[in-house]
Structure formats: C-alpha cells, structure tokens
Amino acid sequence: MWATVDGVKEKVGNFRVEPPGLFRGRGEHPKMGKLKSRIRPSDITINIGKDAPVPECPIPGERWKEVKHDNTVTWLAFWNDPINQKEFKYVFLAASSSLKGQSDKEKYEKARKLKDYIDNIRKAYTKDFTSRDLTKQQIAVATYLIDKLALRAGNEKDDDEADTVGCCTLKVANVECVPPHSLKFDFLGKDSIRYENTVDVVEAVYRAIAQFRKGKKQTDNLFDELDTTKLNAHLKGLMPGLTAKVFRTYNASITLDEKLYEETEDGDLAEKVVVYQQANKQVAIICNHQRTISKSHTAQMSRLTEKIEELQVILKDLKIDLDRAKKGKPPLKDAEGKRKRNLTPEAIDKKIASTNQKIEKMELAMKTKEDLKTVALGTSKINYLDPRITVAWCKRHEVPIEKIFNKSLLAKFAWAMDVEPNFRF
C-alpha cells in the first residue's frame, strides 16, 4: 500500500488490523485469555489530505468513525486497542519512508549531542551521590544506573497492565547488595524480558542503594522519592530533549563505534564480520536484548560438526597423498576403492590449504553461532545503533554492507549510505 505525501509516493507500514481472537500478551499479562473483539470500519479514524477522495469503506453499509485532515501528525489511521481501551493502534508510513528516515536521523543526531554534555553530567551526578537531599541523591543514583546499565526510566503500571519494571519503579526485592560493592538486579523489563545482572558499582552508589533499602519491605519502591516525571524533568534540565532512551542510544552507538575502531584488524571478510558481530553483541548485552535459543540450533551445530569431521578426513588423506607424491609414489585408492588422479606436490599443497581454510571458516561459524545463540543482535541495529557507524566501517574495511544490513534495513537506512568512511559517532 502507498500514500502520496507532498506529491511524493511513500510506502505505508503495517496497515493490517488484527483479527478477533484470544489475547496472549507478553509474559504473565493480567489480561491474557481475554477476547479481542473484531475491529470494524466504524472504529477507525482515518487521516487524509483535504482534497483527497475519502477511501471507500470495504464493508457495505459501514462507514469510517471519522475522517480527519490533520497535516501536523504522521499517522494515517488509528483505532482503540480492543484489549486496552486507553491505548491506540496506529498506521504510519513504512520505516523506509523519507519522513521516518528524517526522524531517525534527528534521533541519532540528538544522541550524538550528548557527547558534548556527558562529562559534566557524570561529574554532577557523582557529586550528588552523597547529597543530604534524599530526592537529589536518588535522582543522581538513578541517572547513574540509566547511564551505566542502559535501564529504561520505567512508568507506574495499572493493575490491568503487565507488571514490568524500569529504573524509577524498581522494588527493594529487585536489587540486592553484594559485598564489597556489587549490585544484583533481577526484574522483568520491557516486553516481560527478565533482566538479571550482577554489576560492580562505585562505592558511593553501593552505600546509597544499601541506605535506600534500609527499613523497607521487599515490595516497597527502592526510589521512594522519585518518579518518571521528576527524573525526566531533571534529565531535560541537563540537556535539551535528554531522556533515558537518548542515554541508551548514545551508549549503544558509542560502544559500537569504539569497539569497531579498537578491534578491527586486517583479515578476511569472515573475520571482519565476526568483529562486527562481537561489537554488536556487546551492545545487545548492555541493552538486555535477549532471545530464546532457536529449536534448530542443536541440529545446525551437529551439521557443522559433521562437515568439519568430513573435511578433517579429507585433510588426513591429502597429507598422505602429499607424502607419497614427494616420494614419487601414486596416491592410495579412495574410500570406495577407486584410483585417484595423480597430482603434483604443489597441487596437493593447494588442496590442503583450501581444505584448512574451509575448516577454519566452519569452526569460526560454529563459535559465532554458539556465542550469539541467546543474544538478539537485530533490535539494537534497528533502534539504537546509528547506521552511519556501520556504513562508514564497511567502507573503511571494504565489507559489503549487505553482509551487515538485510534488505529491510538497507531501505530503512537509505539516508545513511552517503556517509564518509571517516565518520565517528
């Protein structure tokens, strides 16, 4: 489906309405099992140009809920979520559209600006770790955790929403002090994905968290003097437009940029791609982007092991053939008893080198596959990593961009493709 925006044809994003059915939700959602009612045209508000013809209603006898002509918003249609009536479902332009590309670029430029403020921000919150003003102290510690651990700010949840947690809504039970100065976190984050991490912190933060826990029940808020409104107001005072998400985007992108600069060495294409994947993995760990191990993982590893074993048998035979060729003897017969072609020692050497390369490549693929089996690399690429870092790295090291970005990401990040090879975040 396409829309015309200011005379330009733009692709529309997901425009399909979910069919009626039972609501699953993520994690232990309190509304799991409720019936999702059918969305009818009379539930849907559409947004079109003043002179555009109103799209025909697909169901005879029905009509749209409302037709708007609002050129200050980017949505094309919306309706109330059938499960959570306070929420809305929207139809927007596709990720590859020029408007979305412009929005993405602005997001990453805002995150880049943080590098001009970050040193002063860190000095300020470090100073307030020991503040006598409890609210100021809690804001400082929360900002530190958002910066160091890429935690989301967190919002208060209603009883009919999944009980997920962010920094401001951490309970005493979610954070444990582990001597001498480590904190053990255990809570359900966004999309009910478990965040479980033990991390060393500066001593002042360790003491402050221990103090915040003192005299409270396990179900009490750790930051009892703080909420997202106060935290967001504080962040915006540090830098215009600063939010927890800007911190996440900055720390994700700066980590990728630094890792790629530090660790990329001259090597073959496969080795360079592994360097990128390992840097991407560090970001995914920071952002807690996890995935379950795929059902096919064991089978894939078994197939690779079998192929490596087959190649090792071939390599062993080639070494015997090389030894015989150097002595002027014919090669031994193959496994089926057939006579092998006579080859010069040089030709056999080339085959040995080629087989060794194949084995190394497969062993590298196995190691990478095992290393990344529980890490979701895609989420950070889509949402938190400035694509210009990747494009510039590919240009510097002659890596085809298609090895890193799939077709949909290439379309989404078309705006980043002209970046210079020396770009730094």
pLDDT band at 116 (very low <50, low <70, confident <90, very high): very high
pLDDT tens by residue, 401-415: 999 999 999 999 999
Last residue of a domain, one of 335, 352, 371: 371
CATH code assigned at 128: 3.90.15.10
Tell me what pLDDT residue 279 has: 92
Identify the CA nearest to 16 among candidates 90, 75, 74: 90
225/147 same-domain check = yes
Q: Is residue 380 part of a domain?
A: no
86/172 same-domain check = no
132/28 same-domain check = no
Q: Is residue 305 part of a domain?
A: yes
Q: Is residue 162 part of a domain?
A: yes
125/211 same-domain check = yes
Q: Is residue 225 part of a domain?
A: yes
Contact 20, 38 (CB under 8 A): yes
123/207 same-domain check = yes
Q: What is the pTM of this model?
A: 0.76
Last residue of a domain, one of 238, 255, 273: 238
Contact 315, 271 (CB under 8 A): no
Residue 218: Cβ within 10 Å count:
9
Q: Is residue 49 part of a domain?
A: yes
The number of domains in the chain is: 3
State the SS3 of 305-340.
Answer: HHHHHHHHHHHHHHHHHHHHHHCCCCCCCCCCCCCC
Tell me what pLDDT residue 268 has: 84
Integer CA distances (angstroms), 318 to 277, 329, 333, 337, in order: 34, 14, 12, 16
247 versus 192: the higher-pLDDT residue is: 247
123/232 same-domain check = yes
Taking the alpha carbons at both ends of the chain, their separation in whole angstroms is 35
124/229 same-domain check = yes
75/179 same-domain check = no
pLDDT tens by residue, 314-353: 898 889 888 888 888 888 777 777 777 888 888 888 999 9
Contact 99, 93 (CB under 8 A): yes
Q: Is residue 358 part of a domain?
A: yes
Mean pLDDT, rounded, for 259-276 = 87
29/131 same-domain check = no
Q: What integer best gives the mean pLDDT of the chain? A: 88
Mean pLDDT, rounded, for 157-166 = 54
143/212 same-domain check = yes
88/183 same-domain check = no
Last residue of a domain, one of 189, 209, 238: 238
Q: Is the pLDDT reported for residue 158 higher than 50?
A: no
Enclosing H/E stretch for 196: strand 194-200
Q: Is residue 31 part of a domain?
A: yes
Integer CA distances (angstroms), 238 to 112, 113, 116, 121, 362, in order: 15, 12, 11, 7, 49
Q: Is residue 389 part of a domain?
A: no
CATH code assigned at 6: 2.170.11.10
Domain holding 308, by residue range, is 297-371
198/131 same-domain check = yes
Tell me what pLDDT residue 211 has: 93
Catalytic residues: 384
Mean pLDDT, rounded, for 228-251 = 91
Tell me what pLDDT residue 82 has: 86
Helix 269-286, helix 244-263: angle, nearest 10: 150
Mean pLDDT, rounded, for 20-35 = 81
Share of residues in the chain with pLDDT > 90 (%):
45
Tell me what pLDDT residue 160 has: 43
pLDDT tens by residue, 182-215: 999 998 877 777 888 898 999 999 999 999 999 8
Question: Can you tell me the distance from the alpha carbon of 390 to that of 280, in angstroms, rounded to the nearest whole number?
Answer: 10
Contact 162, 30 (CB under 8 A): yes
